[in-house]
Structure 1
């Protein structure tokens, strides 16, 4: 007996039958995407429209449709052609357009545009402003207030008389409400103890930079001071900070952790040491006369700061520093600038990129013998109502120095050096840009029986200090030096400077020959040049000699200026002040860029010493 299949099984079969499609079903339409359905509708409408037209209309439609497709295809072809133009073709078109524009410009116009682009890149931000000032957008509009006032009769003096005094001393000033020049130290209200001390050092009356610069600084004004080497700039910026510190100490004595009131920055250890010793002498004279003790900190590399622990432990009035050690001490929080109201940069053209971390207002003074006009303008961006005091052209040579330039073959330099040493009695300074050459010259002179010392950046601080002291004291007749001894150092009665190797930057030459002819005295500078000297450097030297009214030797006269051949003007470099080149090929700017790139490579882990 057979049984019927279960009901459930039959349901499954019915379901299968329900979804099973017969092969004969004609109206089954498979799934069509929405986009394709729309296209089919459009085609159906088009075919319906075509069916309604007569045969003539149909033939017209057949001719119109292809025409429509051809127009679209032509548009697409043109668009493709436009997109397929290469970047090279566009660059060629831009260059051709620029060439047409350049053809209408003179060489001077092109040089001016190039110079403005370079200087705009240099002045991209206010370098002397602190980070906090830049972050908070702080800008001061008024100068720092001080208690100093010139005597009443000087305050009431007419501007015509002030202008006559400046003209008498060949002083140029720029700025608003420039303080009056004062021709005596007593009228500046300098303490008698300091005046007496200066007289013992044969400083009787102010030099031009002092008679205008000291009243300007005493008035609390920001200042840019430019004067020849050996013109007394150190006294002009040291006296104001001493008087400011004396006033602060007299009101409320400094205790541990307080100060400094002012900071003076110098580019080299030797110059910082010299400035520090001068300040000690002047503050010592005050103390002997019954005034409070003023403590000065020397902050330079190569010396142990533990030796000055007594100064740090009692509060500091003045700091004299080189940039590297100063930053190190600030980072270690040995002191801070919370009370700092005075900041001066000596040889400021070399240190103008420095900034400070405090946001309190301070009086800023920049001094140098070489600070071109464009750099002055750049510095003024961060100064408050600055006063420019200029004695002579920035970058010009000291007129009290007789400059002698001689062509000497490289192999004959050493022998000729001995002949040059016979021109004047000692002491004599010999400059070379190469450290190894400095050592070679010293060794040669010692073998020839000449008492000589050497100084350069690779020597220890003890060796450098010994060389300076031995030379200043007269124990040694000749000092052979690299560029570290060229900035601001003051040696007594140097009558002769010999430049064994002409520096690449003309402003270094100006500083080197400025070691003689100081404080109104005359001196001689003998410079060796030969075929190894760059032609651009020779051209700078040629124009510098012409400007100073010096004799230009025949081989220098024969050096041609390419700017004249190209129809350009003889406008000097705006960065270094050299008269024989423009900012586009300035060696100082190239050196700065090289140093910056080297620093970036070291910071990025790319090596370095």
Structure 2
């Protein structure tokens, strides 16, 4: 048999599968080295030198020749070393950032259709309104000087210019006559910047102290939008609304509705088309307003519960709605009511201009709103959550059993009308009964009363038929009592935001007022520290009992307060509002009814 000659290709093919022979001695030595590494035994010096290159290539990881326990120990040592180099303030800020990320809302404030189809609007709504030429020709420096004069802080892209006179905002004569009839000669700071932003069709977050004219800043642009759409193409039965305002309480919704009706009366008498507004709140029969549905519906002012009911029954739709304002927006987006707002949003079929207004707007809500709005403009007059500087704040230590008696003495400080706030419904009823027994003309309001009782109390108090109104926090947000000289807090609320809203019922529209607050040992330490910092910020007298309190935030030398609720006397790690919300989540407790303490009303 002849032997064939092997080619170079055959040799290469054989080399591909060739496994070199390793002597038994070397294989044993390799096995020993492997066992030594696993048992952490020291290797012989010669072997260590031979394997230095291999050891250098080993790194921590799932395939490394280092046990996971040792890797974890090494990571902990490295982290401990890094933490030892950080200051206490840096550690605190990192901890707060982690908490804030954990509680941040991830879901956008949008309709179900937009979320399902991932519809994102990139450009604001266009309107036909433009500032006058002489306003547009001003330099950016001139605009900044006007904002500085009025202490207006703005953020955003292509911010509309501030305008100092109503006439330059191109309002028609009937609207100017309405403003004169209300004694409004010049716009307030929030109106100087807020009205041009709203008229331009931009999404907006408006923050200003209580009594600064926020209601006019969003209701006036809505009336102008309704007039424009009605003049272009009149609405017929079954169409509308073109704009909507959602309020957290019935009283605030009715107050806003009545101010809009007055505007409409002036425009109708001035020759403009008739605008049909609708008040959509619980406690009233919608059949009484059936005449509104006989024609096109232009404006809806509502509380969320009744609004959802009307939308679900298809009494009207939001197909033409291009304007949405959330008054007291921090309450609207806050936990316990956020789902209701999302449900309302699901009825929108297109892009809308969204305005959020409040006197207290924590950073958490601002960040969430930024992600939900389209290139929003943030207009801030003063610090969000700051107290009205026109209010003289007096804080007195009064024992629990002596409060109701001392209340009579406080009523002598100023002439009526006087507003008394209490946290619980039972306390409101007890105070009301006590004042009546003492011969004081008083009425009471809280979420447990019928709508007729609530309306009677508000109406008789505003018409000066009653001297004292005893109320829960349902009357603390947005209600306008222009002639109140004195507000008495029978107890300190559990959240500093409610305190700011309470005392804001006086000192409105540039007038001065007095706010007296009773405190004692029943108040939590956090709320008293918040009050202490709020008094300092407003340059008010701090009572000795608060001055003597040790401030735990001083040891970190951090400023700015809680990023969750806006309180100045604590950080987010000690936030009582966050703790309350966590307990509510754990206990699966539903939102409190009756509009009390931050919930929305039916």
Q: TM-score, normalised by structure 2?
A: 0.83
Q: Is the counterpart of residue 493 in structure 1 residue 483 in structure 2?
A: yes
Residue in 2 that maps onto 1:442: 432
- How far does residue 585 in structure 1 lie from its aligned partner after superposition? 2.1
Q: Is the counterpart of residue 118 in structure 1 residue 110 in structure 2?
A: no
What's the secondary structure of 1:381's corresponding residue?
helix
Residue in 1 that maps onto 2:493: 503
Selected match of 1:322 from 287, 293, 303: 303
- How far does residue 170 in structure 1 lie from its aligned partner after superposition? 1.1
Selected match of 2:363 from 347, 357, 373: 373
- How far does residue 243 in structure 1 lie from its aligned partner after superposition? 0.6
Distance 1:194 1:173 in 2: 27
The alpha-carbon distance between structure 1 residues 98 and 359, as it changes in their structure 2 partners (threshold 3 A), is: farther
What's the secondary structure of 1:202's corresponding residue?
coil
Residue in 2 that maps onto 1:219: 200
- How far does residue 86 in structure 1 lie from its aligned partner after superposition? 12
Q: Is the counterpart of residue 423 in structure 1 residue 404 in structure 2?
A: no
Distance 1:292 1:312 in 2: 17
Distance 1:535 1:204 in 2: 44
What's the secondary structure of 1:108's corresponding residue?
helix
Distance 1:395 1:93 in 2: 46
Residue in 2 that maps onto 1:521: 511
Selected match of 1:351 from 332, 338, 354: 332
Distance 2:356 2:561 in 1: 22
What's the secondary structure of 2:492's corresponding residue?
coil
Residue in 2 that maps onto 1:279: 260
- How far does residue 600 in structure 1 lie from its aligned partner after superposition? 6.6
Asked if 1 retains the 8 angstrom alpha-carbon contact of 2:105 and 2:368, the reply is no
- How far does residue 113 in structure 1 lie from its aligned partner after superposition? 2.0
- How far does residue 601 in structure 1 lie from its aligned partner after superposition? 7.2
Distance 1:467 1:333 in 2: 33
Asked if 1 retains the 8 angstrom alpha-carbon contact of 2:482 and 2:509, the reply is no
Residue in 2 that maps onto 1:460: 450
Selected match of 1:289 from 270, 286, 303: 270
What's the secondary structure of 2:372's corresponding residue?
coil
Selected match of 1:538 from 528, 550, 563: 528
Distance 2:169 2:37 in 1: 85
Q: Deviations over 1:559-583 (max 9, x none)?
A: 111122x434233111221110111
Structure 2 alignment gaps of length 5 or more: 1-23, 41-66, 592-602
- How far does residue 98 in structure 1 lie from its aligned partner after superposition? 5.7
The alpha-carbon distance between structure 1 residues 97 and 407, as it changes in their structure 2 partners (threshold 3 A), is: farther
- How far does residue 475 in structure 1 lie from its aligned partner after superposition? 0.9
Residue in 2 that maps onto 1:576: 565
Q: Is the counterpart of residue 307 in structure 1 residue 288 in structure 2?
A: yes
Q: TM-score, normalised by structure 1?
A: 0.82
Asked if 1 retains the 8 angstrom alpha-carbon contact of 2:399 and 2:520, the reply is yes
- How far does residue 92 in structure 1 lie from its aligned partner after superposition? 9.3
Asked if 2 retains the 8 angstrom alpha-carbon contact of 1:570 and 1:580, the reply is no
Report how many residues are paired.
537
Residue in 2 that maps onto 1:548: 538
Selected match of 1:432 from 413, 422, 429: 422
Structure number with bigger Rg: 1
- How far does residue 267 in structure 1 lie from its aligned partner after superposition? 0.9
- How far does residue 350 in structure 1 lie from its aligned partner after superposition? 0.8
Distance 2:473 2:354 in 1: 26
Residue in 1 that maps onto 2:184: 203
Distance 2:473 2:480 in 1: 14
Q: Deviations over 1:244-271 (max 9, x none)?
A: 1111111111111111111111111111
Asked if 2 retains the 8 angstrom alpha-carbon contact of 1:495 and 1:522, the reply is yes
Distance 2:162 2:272 in 1: 27
Residue in 2 that maps onto 1:7: none
- How far does residue 501 in structure 1 lie from its aligned partner after superposition? 0.4
What's the secondary structure of 1:187's corresponding residue?
helix
Distance 1:277 1:73 in 2: 87
What's the secondary structure of 1:224's corresponding residue?
strand
- How far does residue 326 in structure 1 lie from its aligned partner after superposition? 1.5
Asked if 1 retains the 8 angstrom alpha-carbon contact of 2:207 and 2:358, the reply is yes
Q: Deviations over 1:488-531 (max 9, x none)?
A: 00013000000010011111100000000000000000000011
The alpha-carbon distance between structure 1 residues 258 and 68, as it changes in their structure 2 partners (threshold 3 A), is: closer
Asked if 2 retains the 8 angstrom alpha-carbon contact of 1:126 and 1:381, the reply is no
Distance 2:33 2:293 in 1: 89
Selected match of 2:126 from 139, 145, 151: 145
